[in-house]
Amino acid sequence: MLLKPLAAAASLLLAGAALAQTAAPQAAPEAQVEIRDAWARATPGKAENGAAYLTILSPVPDRLTGIATPVAKKAELHNMTSEGGVMKMRAMPELDLKPGEPAALKPGGTHIMLMGLNQQLKPGDHFPLTLSFEKAGNREVTVAVEKAGAMGPEGHTGAGMSMQH
């Protein structure tokens, strides 16, 4: 006789757990960050550092707070500025993203420094890069390695070339 009340109680517990799972909040679609045209320049054989570039578009205010990749010991945001005719590069702790405004990381401006390269970056190669956002969380993108001196990704079309996973 005890079996029926126990079975009913167990059923209620399982149903409650199932409802809790379906009611769990999902990442808001409007918080999805789009990452496009991720590329890097090829490096000479013994180069210790490299750079990566990409464009980030967020539909909501967000902040890029961290970067990681297995091809380098450290990846950081850096910014190039001209002061009195002298180019200076400084590390940036984070990058604020304005809703609907593309943040273009490009040569001569804000970019990703890859320090302590574990391997040479060769044209045609690809490597993963993880970007950490305050609201959107971690996003992985595949970076295409272009020739040394390139000023943009080879197959660049401007819009819609999403390279994210």
Asked, for residue 156, whether it belongs to a domain, the answer is: no
Does residue 162 register a pLDDT over 50? no
Does residue 36 register a pLDDT over 70? yes
Asked, for residue 46, whether it belongs to a domain, the answer is: yes
Q: pLDDT, tens digit, for every residue of 45-57?
A: 899 999 999 999 9
Asked, for residue 42, whether it belongs to a domain, the answer is: yes
Instruction: Give the pLDDT band of residue 24 (cuts 50, 70, 90).
Output: very low
Q: Look at the chain and report how many structural domains it folds into.
A: 1
Does residue 165 register a pLDDT over 70? no
CB 55 within 8 A of CB 105: yes
Q: pLDDT, tens digit, for every residue of 103-114?
A: 999 999 999 999
Asked, for residue 125, whether it belongs to a domain, the answer is: yes
Helix (H), strand (E) at residue 12: helix 3-22
Mention every residue, 6+ apart, whose C-beta is less than 8 A from residue 78. 89, 90, 91, 92, 110, 111, 112, 113
Instruction: Give the pLDDT band of residue 123 (cuts 50, 70, 90).
Output: very high
Instruction: Give the pLDDT band of residue 5 (cuts 50, 70, 90).
Output: low
Nearest to 95 by CA among 113, 114, 111, 106: 111
Asked, for residue 54, whether it belongs to a domain, the answer is: yes
22-26 mean pLDDT: 41
Asked, for residue 5, whether it belongs to a domain, the answer is: no
CB 92 within 8 A of CB 78: yes
Q: What CATH code is carried by the domain that includes residue 76?
A: 2.60.40.1890
CB 151 within 8 A of CB 108: no
- What pLDDT sits at residue 13? 45
* Amino acid identity, position 21: Q
Mention every residue, 6+ apart, whose C-beta is less than 8 A from residue 5. none
Asked, for residue 106, whether it belongs to a domain, the answer is: yes
* Amino acid identity, position 91: A
Nearest to 146 by CA among 29, 45, 52, 57: 52
Write out the residue range of the structural domain in which residue 71 sits: 36-146
- What pLDDT sits at residue 81? 87
Asked, for residue 2, whether it belongs to a domain, the answer is: no
